[in-house]
Structure 1
Amino acid sequence: MKSIKSYIIILAACLPLLSSCSDFLDKEPDTELDMENVFNDKTHVEQWLANVYSAIPDCYDGYLFDLGWMILGDDATIPERYRQFGNQIIPMILGEWTPASDWNGNYWALLPQRIREANIFREKAHALTDQDISEREMTYMKTECRFMQAYYYYLLANTYGPIPFKPDYVWPVNASLSDMMETQTPYEDVIKWCSDEMLACSKILPARYSESQKYGRITSLMCLAIRARMLLFDASPLVNGNSDYANFVNANGEHLFSTQYDANKWRVAADACKDLIDKAEASGHKLYIEYADDSKTTIDPFLSYENAFLKSEDAGNTEILFARPSVNYQNYERNATPNGSGGNGGFGVTQSLVDAFFMENGLPITDPDSKYEEKGFSGADEHRSGTKFETENGNCITKQGTYNMYCHREPRFYVTVNFSGAYFPSEDRQYNFFNGGADNNHTHDAPQNGYLMRKRVNPKDNIKQGSYNYRPGIIYRLAEAYLSYAEALNECDPGNQEILTYLNKIRERAGVRQYTTGATDNNYIHVNLADQDAMRKLIHAERRVELCAEGTRYDDLRRWKEAETTLSGDFYGMNFDGKDASNFYQRKPYITRVYRKAYYWFPIHQTEIDKNPKLVQNPYWDQLSK
């Protein structure tokens, strides 16, 4: 019997990942264990599997800080002065990013360790029928590890592009990718392998588990969801025939990105999205909807959208397709709560996101028929019927005297954005973001551009009292599948009626007018379905609003090759220095961002380049100083 040292880094105390977090993660193993003993004991087997899961991203605190996906995009913002506390994302968005910059996400070192553990599990683990791990259960466990290997390789490729790639290679303990001492494998080859693995795993795993303690375990739908997201990226301009990378080759002279556009990739992505949708709906998944009346004929768009993120599956939220059962939403909420109310008060939304939301009539604010007004203040309270959304004095969406920019906007706007004058439920008052007001102490713990994040913040929580309500960390939901399918279909089959079908499912739930190829009226807006470019803009606009602040926006801007223009220049908000309405309500830059062509991919850290001479640095990073 071979004995080896294996330092098993179990994160049970701070990163419970599997259902109710009880059986799998609340146990500490010995740090040195005989390998045979590990896989002959149910507790240790479950702990090992839990650790394989432990690198699934925290889509609340992780996306906000350590990974930074929300701040790297243009939906969310944190104060520039957070850098004094060691925040690594702020220098990145300011253009102070080099191959020597550190990043807390550190996928290059972390994910190979989890892939290694998945490999070992698949090789060593076996059924323990006398300890209630049946042959079928072990098949599921090994398939979960198989998927997790593909998922982590996808995360690596999504972050770094081409990577050293040997799926059967078992790294030493604490290894990073450079320990393979290999050059990078072409991006397409990695994605093809991941896609095949995810599809194969989906044919083995169940669509759902009946046992509540298995919530969070990988299902066939999770496999299909990540595959659909990955293939949509693979079809997009950044990696599908991007001429910017024509001369980017590995140490063997192989092109690392596709140099020829492949239109069929959009069809492959569309088919993957439709396969996911069909199987998800067949398993009982649907958009989360709450109704305004007992007859269930009128959708409450405010609560439907709000609770799509706050309700768990056992509370009826079957929109969730992939969730991380435990996430740090407490820190997320503290940063979105004013300093004087027990929070840190610096996590806000950007002005460009405020501008992206449609008006109550479903039109963008740039449309002359939208009735958008920016200047001045409302002359009366604005009420909306058909909602139980928590507002002041019952259904009062905006009070008299609210800045017109925020009046008569669509329901998702009010669920997402806390603006000065918005209702603050836990304190039964309106927010005041004026300089010196209740919610702006004019420090780094205040909204730097006049807004705080509301989306995914539970209005029933009381941060001052440390009272939080549970919610899952949603990695993927059905709405994303609908929007991705519409986008891919518009690229491979423009004019297909299903584009409107799935776009309208999102808009119906959101409480805004749907699109039609017929006449515009009180229920519909006319569009030219055959105009591929116009439909592309509509789909991108809907995606920006529906999926905002969920971590997808940065990848969207990357894959569309829009990051260089969208993420560079002045970012605006209301005037942080303004002490009254006359000078607060002014568009004013609060930060100037820099996005270079190199930034589409994270750099391989210089220490890894120095360690492995076969690695080549990602495109354009060599032009930046070390």
Structure 2
Amino acid sequence: MKIVLKTIFVTIIALQMLSCDEYLDVTPDNIATLDNVFNRRNTAEQYLFTCYSYIPSHASVNDNPGFLGADEMWSVPSSSNGNFQIAKGNQGVVEPYTNLWKRMYQGIRICNIFLENIETVPDLTSAEKNRWVSEVKFLKAYYHYTLLRMYGPIVLVKENLLVSDDVETVKVPRSPIDECFDYIIELLDESYKDLPDRIENEVSELGRITKAISISLKAQILVSVASPLFNGNSDYGGFRNKDGTPLFNSVYDEAKWQIAADACKAAIEYCESVGHRLYLYEPRFSQYDLSPTTLTKLSIRNSLTEKWNPEIIWANTNSYVIDLQGKATPRGLDPNLGDNGETRGDMAPPLKIVEKFYSANGVPINEDITYDYEGRFDLETPTAEHKYNLKEGYTTAKLNFNREPRYYASLGFDGGIWYGQGRYDDESDDLLFVSSKMGQPASMIVLHAFSTTGYWPKKFVHFQSIVNPGNTYTTENYPFPVIRLNDLYLLYAEALNEARGPSTEVYEYLDRVRTRAGIPNVERAWSDFSKNPGKVRSKDGLREIIHQERTIELAFEGYRFWDLRRWKTAVNELNKPITGWDLDQEEALGYYREKLIYKQTFIPRDYFWPIEEKAILSNSNLVQNPGW
């Protein structure tokens, strides 16, 4: 991708141009060099791509706290991953883990320099200039939003300060949270008009910002504005700047949910008008006549992994899913090929997340009147009727039986079929499957490369990635999707329920996602199969359903980390134990016993990152987040 190559090149130039590491010292000393950048179109365009280069690496387990920072996936005990340390309650103020404070302000600084100088470029058309300005305003909004949801109220940098500004001027305090959100939305509104409807030159421009991306991000943000963490959060009623300015509004405003719902509906209608739709796997040519079960699972799995499919609104072309596929794939998946060093399989969904997925009837397994929840850890042996999901004749836990298609599309587990990876006839007896009890190929043979729970996030792995003999793994790479249409559908259902309560329209948008997932519509599922059939008809009950639907549909993609925070339910969910199977056992009877892995803790201060100590010491007007 040209944008990737240009970004790498220009990032080096930009870093050389910047004279100071402090985020508010934003005017380079080398003015002659800066003038040269904006005296012709080519170098100005390179600077545009530098503005893009600060987008966080969404596919990186080191940069994206959504993977290992909460409870969706657990790592090996020896892992030093910073996000994993956050999940274990080890965050600190001196050098906070996954600290983006400095980097995001550097990105904002670069965006401001671009906006201050773009008018001087002589050989740039008006339409092109307007588009570039819109892209940079979007990026500036995104970087502010990235900071806001990590740190809460932030310092707004609407314009760069000057080198000549006095010491007190540069000591800028944090702005109230509502003011921060208002400014971000203002930037997005300004960006929308001159962005393209779609990318025409796909070879060189895929990944650049479009109207669909801008309007969708606005919808996401307005749902956050209306959510409990930011809307009437009395826990932060005493959080103030040093001059007494309150940083949180502790009065709840229900009208914010209607504003969010309207924004979601506008985003959905626009995205659908330019061709975005839920992905369905419909191969034009196929060597094999696949079963409906496999086709449904591929529709679910490929909606994430099939690059540039119509469901994807924004994908990060600077962050391809390569390493993540290896971390999600069990070692020894194909025992005929021996061990493979590139399939480490050290990303492990805990049992509490595994149990979040519905039964085959589309309701929680602890609510399903037909599901033996108390006996879920008992053993059962699959027969031919289970062959598309479970290895026939291979004894496994009842927990792995009679679950919804998203369970089998998203999770790998002992005795579970792993479709693809070079084997595409789903009627064959030779499909790959996981075997992970002690001594088996996917077990704890290598201490830094195994699943601590006995489950793997298969969802990340493209079904055409191939495990090869020796020490290679050929991955079908794809840019990490940042926004998909399914997210907008669920956000709209959530906002509409909060604004007006249960309605036909709320059910409709939930059912769009559920239909693709191969489960009954939400009203029928609860009326026919739930112990609590009235749950779907109350605002509180439907809220719980929508929250679980998001957890399942967007599992492992990084959403749950932020959802638990904006819902203010992290203090409940992240104080539950992390458990998995007993990996030291060779026999199924011993293996399928729930074993404590870690007792996770989360306290109210953990809703936001601490601002690094150095920044607090250098700016006497900057207050620390409560509890830190």
Classify the TM-score, shorter chain: 0.7 to 0.9
* Letter aligned with residue 74 of structure 2: T
Is the Cα contact below 8 Å between 1:436 and 1:442 reproduced in 2?
Answer: no
The answer to which of 29-38 and 65-74 deviates more is 29-38
- Is 1:546 matched with 2:553? yes
Aligned partner of 1:438 among 413, 437, 441: 441
Is the Cα contact below 8 Å between 1:517 and 1:528 reproduced in 2?
Answer: no
Decide whether aligned partners of structure 1 residues 181 and 328 sit closer, same or farther in structure 2, where only a CA change above 3 A counts: same
**TM-score, normalized by length of structure 1?**
0.86
2:617 maps to which residue? 610
Q: Deviations over 1:15-50 (max 9, x none)?
A: xxx666356656775945722221223432222111
1:261 counterpart SS class: coil
Is the Cα contact below 8 Å between 1:569 and 1:593 reproduced in 2?
Answer: yes
1:238 maps to which residue? 229
Q: Deviations over 1:479-530 (max 9, x none)?
A: 00000000010011113211000000000000001123799569xx966654
The answer to which of 598-607 and 288-297 deviates more is 288-297
1:581 maps to which residue? 588
Cα distance in 2 for partners of 1:451, 1:72 equals 18
1:161 maps to which residue? 152
* Letter aligned with residue 311 of structure 1: E
Is the Cα contact below 8 Å between 2:360 and 2:519 reproduced in 1?
Answer: yes
Cα distance in 2 for partners of 1:122, 1:235 equals 31
Decide whether aligned partners of structure 1 residues 290 and 344 sit closer, same or farther in structure 2, where only a CA change above 3 A counts: closer
Is the Cα contact below 8 Å between 1:19 and 1:216 reproduced in 2?
Answer: no
Decide whether aligned partners of structure 1 residues 238 and 284 sit closer, same or farther in structure 2, where only a CA change above 3 A counts: same
Cα distance in 1 for partners of 2:589, 2:39 equals 71
- Is 1:330 matched with 2:322? yes
Decide whether aligned partners of structure 1 residues 327 and 72 sit closer, same or farther in structure 2, where only a CA change above 3 A counts: same
Decide whether aligned partners of structure 1 residues 74 and 320 sit closer, same or farther in structure 2, where only a CA change above 3 A counts: same
* Letter aligned with residue 147 of structure 2: L
**Residue 374 of structure 1, CA deviation:** 1.2
- Is 1:97 matched with 2:91? yes
**Residue 540 of structure 1, CA deviation:** 0.8
Decide whether aligned partners of structure 1 residues 127 and 423 sit closer, same or farther in structure 2, where only a CA change above 3 A counts: farther
Is the Cα contact below 8 Å between 1:237 and 1:559 reproduced in 2?
Answer: yes
Is the Cα contact below 8 Å between 1:119 and 1:170 reproduced in 2?
Answer: no
Q: Deviations over 1:354-413 (max 9, x none)?
A: 1011111212111242424513333443547xxxxxxxxx73544332322111211111
1:244 counterpart SS class: helix
Counting aligned pairs with the same residue, the percent is 29
Is the Cα contact below 8 Å between 1:291 and 1:298 reproduced in 2?
Answer: no
Cα distance in 2 for partners of 1:283, 1:433 equals 45
**Residue 189 of structure 1, CA deviation:** 0.3
* Letter aligned with residue 388 of structure 2: N
1:150 counterpart SS class: helix
**Residue 55 of structure 1, CA deviation:** 1.9
Cα distance in 2 for partners of 1:44, 1:292 equals 43
Decide whether aligned partners of structure 1 residues 514 and 417 sit closer, same or farther in structure 2, where only a CA change above 3 A counts: same
2:25 maps to which residue? none
Cα distance in 1 for partners of 2:326, 2:281 equals 27
1:69 maps to which residue? 66
Is the Cα contact below 8 Å between 1:398 and 1:407 reproduced in 2?
Answer: no
Instruction: Show the 5 A alignment for 1:254-293.
Output: 254-291=245-282
**Residue 600 of structure 1, CA deviation:** 0.2
**Residue 549 of structure 1, CA deviation:** 0.8
Instruction: Show the 5 A alignment for 1:445-484.
Output: 445-462=449-466, 464-484=471-491
Cα distance in 1 for partners of 2:83, 2:322 equals 20
Cα distance in 2 for partners of 1:382, 1:362 equals 23
Cα distance in 1 for partners of 2:272, 2:291 equals 21
2:242 maps to which residue? 251
2:427 maps to which residue? none
2:335 maps to which residue? none
- Is 1:47 matched with 2:52? no
Is the Cα contact below 8 Å between 1:515 and 1:527 reproduced in 2?
Answer: no
- Is 1:358 matched with 2:358? yes
Cα distance in 1 for partners of 2:209, 2:368 equals 48
* Letter aligned with residue 380 of structure 2: S
Decide whether aligned partners of structure 1 residues 330 and 545 sit closer, same or farther in structure 2, where only a CA change above 3 A counts: same
Q: Deviations over 1:227-269 (max 9, x none)?
A: 1111111111111111111111111211101110111111111
Unaligned runs of 5+ in 2: 18-31, 332-338, 423-430
Is the Cα contact below 8 Å between 2:161 and 2:170 reproduced in 1?
Answer: no
1:37 maps to which residue? 36
Is the Cα contact below 8 Å between 2:362 and 2:522 reproduced in 1?
Answer: no
- Is 1:139 matched with 2:130? yes
2:544 maps to which residue? 537
1:341 counterpart SS class: coil
Cα distance in 2 for partners of 1:171, 1:565 equals 46
Decide whether aligned partners of structure 1 residues 297 and 612 sit closer, same or farther in structure 2, where only a CA change above 3 A counts: same
Is the Cα contact below 8 Å between 1:356 and 1:544 reproduced in 2?
Answer: yes
* Letter aligned with residue 433 of structure 1: S
Cα distance in 1 for partners of 2:273, 2:227 equals 29
1:78 maps to which residue? 75
The answer to which of 396-405 and 563-572 deviates more is 396-405
Decide whether aligned partners of structure 1 residues 364 and 135 sit closer, same or farther in structure 2, where only a CA change above 3 A counts: same
Cα distance in 2 for partners of 1:542, 1:519 equals 13
Cα distance in 1 for partners of 2:596, 2:192 equals 47
Decide whether aligned partners of structure 1 residues 144 and 518 sit closer, same or farther in structure 2, where only a CA change above 3 A counts: closer
Instruction: Show the 5 A alignment for 1:390-539.
Output: 395=388, 397-400=390-393, 401-424=395-418, 425-426=420-421, 428-439=431-442, 440-441=444-445, 443-462=447-466, 464-516=471-523, 520=527, 530-539=537-546
* Letter aligned with residue 347 of structure 1: M
**Residue 129 of structure 1, CA deviation:** 7.3
Q: Deviations over 1:259-291 (max 9, x none)?
A: 101111111111111110011111111111124
- Is 1:301 matched with 2:296? yes
Is the Cα contact below 8 Å between 1:52 and 1:114 reproduced in 2?
Answer: yes
Is the Cα contact below 8 Å between 2:219 and 2:263 reproduced in 1?
Answer: yes
The answer to which of 485-494 and 468-477 deviates more is 468-477
Cα distance in 2 for partners of 1:134, 1:610 equals 46
Instruction: Show the 5 A alignment for 1:7-46.
Output: 21=4, 25=8, 29=13, 31=16, 34-46=33-45
Cα distance in 1 for partners of 2:525, 2:437 equals 46
2:380 maps to which residue? 378
Cα distance in 1 for partners of 2:6, 2:462 equals 28
**TM-score, normalized by length of structure 2?**
0.86
Cα distance in 2 for partners of 1:504, 1:185 equals 40
RMSD of the TM alignment (CA)?
3.0
**Residue 466 of structure 1, CA deviation:** 3.5
1:65 counterpart SS class: coil
The answer to which of 609-618 and 400-409 deviates more is 400-409
1:476 counterpart SS class: strand
Shift >6 Å, 4+ stretches: 292-299
**Residue 578 of structure 1, CA deviation:** 1.9
2:182 counterpart SS class: helix
1:60 maps to which residue? 59
1:310 maps to which residue? 305
Is the Cα contact below 8 Å between 1:375 and 1:405 reproduced in 2?
Answer: yes
Cα distance in 2 for partners of 1:217, 1:112 equals 21
Decide whether aligned partners of structure 1 residues 550 and 521 sit closer, same or farther in structure 2, where only a CA change above 3 A counts: same
Cα distance in 1 for partners of 2:190, 2:491 equals 22
Is the Cα contact below 8 Å between 1:80 and 1:90 reproduced in 2?
Answer: no
* Letter aligned with residue 241 of structure 1: G
Unaligned runs of 5+ in 1: 1-17, 173-177, 385-393, 622-626
1:59 counterpart SS class: coil
Question: How many residues are treated as equivalent by the alignment?
Answer: 581
* Letter aligned with residue 185 of structure 1: S
Is the Cα contact below 8 Å between 1:234 and 1:265 reproduced in 2?
Answer: yes
2:177 maps to which residue? 187
1:341 maps to which residue? 340
